[in-house]
Chains A and B, each alone.
Chain A
Amino acid sequence: MKKELKFKVNGQPYDIYVKPKTLLVEVLRDHLGLTGTKRGCNSSSCGACTVMLNGMAVKSCSMLALQANGADIMTVEGLAKGNKLHPLQEAFLDHGSYQCGFCTSGMLMALRALLEENPKPTKEQIKEGIDGNICRCTGYNSIIRAVTAVVKGEYKEAK
């Protein structure tokens, strides 16, 4: 028996019906076609599915979609404003903070949430912010350099 799910994703309201067993990541990817959010494991350990829910970073594979009822979700597709990239995205491009790119969406959302909570994190806090996200390609340090540059104010947020 499907149940109603009313929530906002990237500012857009949705009113859909889902089977209770549907995970949030499945609604985002399969129902709404937002395939930016990825899945990389079945043990809630890799962080590739990270999205923001009411401003907090959460693993969308580890949450029933129905638990997002009434919530405000942001996925990687909601970072840019129109065709203007978010400072984190610009910084990632400049610092080469991604390679294969599969972990990148989750990484960016974890960082977006970190900066939302704490606009001036220390290096240690940045590392902690992405400790739930596995990257097999970059070795993390280029990501940390990118975020540090954003924190320093080297990038302007689009209006």
Chain B
Amino acid sequence: MIKDFEHFAPKTLKEALTLLDKYQDDCKVICGGQSLLILMRQGLVAPKYLVDIKGISELSYIKDDKDGLKIGALTTHRTIEKSPLIKKKYPVLAEMETRLASIQTRNWGSIGGNICHGDPAGDPAPVLIALDATLTVAGTKGERNMPAEDFTLDYFEVALEPGELLTEIQIPAPPPRTGTVYTKFNIIESDLATVGVAVSVTLGSGDGVCQDVRIALGAAAPMAMRAKKAEAVLKGKKITDALLAEAGEKASTEAEPISDIAASEEYRRELVKVLVKRMGNEALARAKRA
């Protein structure tokens, strides 16, 4: 059961930050509550104060310019999924959102809330890492930016100090001939990832050498992680099937998956191997078409 708490519904970011600064560790932030309320109903989280930021409309937006995409942290999954702009220019985001939980969850939950929850099996985190996203975090003392891959620290632990809020996600405009894809493995279609893999491939001009590659894994470590050793196999080379297989192998050894009721560690490594190979291939194909 949920324990009693005092509820604040700030209408601006400034109001919210003031509250967070005042209550520090005694308060929790709720947006869509699609993750938080589960924990509160089960009595695992019981804050004295709840800062409800769902109503801060200034933090819900999708903006696009020559530098790239800017998504307000409170933007719902469904808004991202349905955005014609995102479907056209950053389709991997829409594709990822389509497979995230159910429509009901996507209608109310926010991308920021999902990332801040820090679930290693979360879908957005590896995609943002593959897209080389930057996250903006705000506190009463000001803002700071960090790469997406530095945001998640450990199981359900993110780089947010007390008094801070995630406000924006910036995704740089992809270089020409870049393709980014995401998939997750599960048994039930809309389920959490048993393993999630996001790959971004940028081809150089001319003979199609892989100029840049980013491989991010979900549910394969205590947090969403980059498989840098796997990337090194492909970077600067012309991507072949054999190389993709090798990248998969490398990724499966550098991952740190656990065994749980969904899968064993051994099986997760096997899935990483296969999915990195496959997604590398799909990213390559998408890059060629770009």
Task: Identify whether the interface residues of A are mostly helix, strand, loop, or mixed.
Answer: mixed
Interface size class of A (residues with CB under 8 A): 20 to 34
Determine if A74 is an interface residue (Cβ-Cβ < 8 Å): no
Residues B33 and A42 in contact, CB atoms below 8 Å apart: no
Residues A64 and B7 in contact, CB atoms below 8 Å apart: yes
Interface residues of B (CB under 8 A from A): 2-7, 9, 30, 32-34, 37-38, 40-42, 50, 52, 54, 78, 98, 101-105, 107-108, 189-190
> Contacts A42-B41, A131-B103 given: A56-B108 contact, CB under 8 Å?
yes
Residues A56 and B189 in contact, CB atoms below 8 Å apart: no
Q: Given the complex of chains A and B, what is the CA–CA distance between A64 and B5 in angstroms?
A: 12
Residue of B nearest to A56 (CB): B107
> Contacts A129-B103, A132-B190 given: A63-B52 contact, CB under 8 Å?
no
In the complex, number of A-B residue pairs with CB atoms less than 8 Å apart: 84
Give chain A residues whose Cβ lies under 8 Å from the Cβ of B6.
Answer: 1, 20
Interface residues of A (CB under 8 A from B): 1, 3, 19-21, 23, 42-44, 47, 50, 53, 56-59, 61-64, 66-67, 69, 110, 113-114, 128-129, 131-133
Given contacts A53-B107, A67-B52, 11 further A-B contacts (CB under 8 A): A50-B104, A53-B108, A57-B104, A58-B107, A62-B37, A63-B33, A63-B37, A64-B52, A67-B33, A113-B103, A131-B190
- 8 A-B contacts (beta carbon < 8 Å): A21-B3, A56-B108, A58-B108, A63-B33, A69-B9, A128-B98, A128-B103, A132-B190
Q: Given the complex of chains A and B, what is the CA–CA distance between A41 and B107 in angstroms?
A: 19
Q: Given the complex of chains A and B, what is the CA–CA distance between A53 and B108 in angstroms?
A: 10
Residues B102 and A132 in contact, CB atoms below 8 Å apart: yes
Give which listed residue, B3, B7, B32, contacts A3 with CB less than 8 A: B7
Residue of A nearest to B34 (CB): A62
What 9 A-B pairs have minimum CB-CB distances, sorted nearest first? A132-B102, A20-B7, A56-B107, A21-B2, A132-B104, A59-B104, A58-B108, A57-B104, A131-B190
